[in-house]
Each structure stands twice: as C-alpha cells, then as structure tokens.
Amino acid sequence: MAKYSPFAEKAGMQKIAQQQTVEGISAVSKVLLELGFDAQLLASERYVMAKLESLQPEQIKELKAAFIKNSHTRFRREFAASRHQPFGKVVDLC
C-alpha cells in the first residue's frame, strides 16, 4: 500500500514500476496451463523436461504452434553456461 502513497515517496521511498503483460507471452502461458504445466514450476528445467516428455505428439504440435504464432524475443534465447554470455544469445526459431 505504501508504494502508492505520495507521502511515502516524499519520505524517500521509490515508486515501483509495474511491467505490462505482453499478449504473445500470455497466450503461450495460457496454452502451457491448458497442457497441464504449473506456472510456478516453469523455471525448473527438470520439471519442464519431464512434462514435455509426457506430452502426446499432438500436444507438442499445439505447443510448437503457440510458440511460433506468438514469436517474442524472450522465446528466442539460448542460454549459455559461459560467463562471457550471461544473458544468452538470440537464436532463430524457424
């Protein structure tokens, strides 16, 4: 509640900018939730790999189509374990 108070801002607190949702990302997350993915565990590589291995081929096609239709630079990152590329490099999906 304090982040909306002008008195708190005058006292030295900083207003937190809220990030707007991107329609493409929310569309892909909707497809992931429909396929049974848990939004809280999407950052876990083991969880995502286990869920992907348990999907049927038609479900994988649906997921691929959602990623291709809603192309966003966030989805085109290939993360490297190198300290020289901390945020990954952009790869082409097509």
**Each residue of 79-91: pLDDT tens digit?**
545 555 555 555 5
pLDDT of residue 73: 67
Residue 13 has pLDDT above 80, yes or no: no
CB 93 within 8 A of CB 65: no
pTM equals: 0.55
Q: Specify the 3-state DSSP secondary structure of 87.
A: coil
Predicted local distance difference test score (pLDDT) of residue 60: 93
Locus of tokens 């490099």? 89
Q: Flag whether 65 is in a domain.
A: yes
Number of structural domains in the chain: 1
Rounded distance, CA 38 to CA 81, Å? 25
Residue 2 counted as domain residue: no
Range of the domain at 57: 21-90
Please report whether residue 59 resides in a domain: yes
Say if residues 1 and 13 touch (Cβ distance below 8 Å).
no
Q: How confident is the model at residue 12 (pLDDT cuts 50, 70, 90)?
A: confident
Q: pLDDT tens-digit profile of 27-68?
A: 888 999 999 999 889 888 899 999 999 999 999 999 989 888
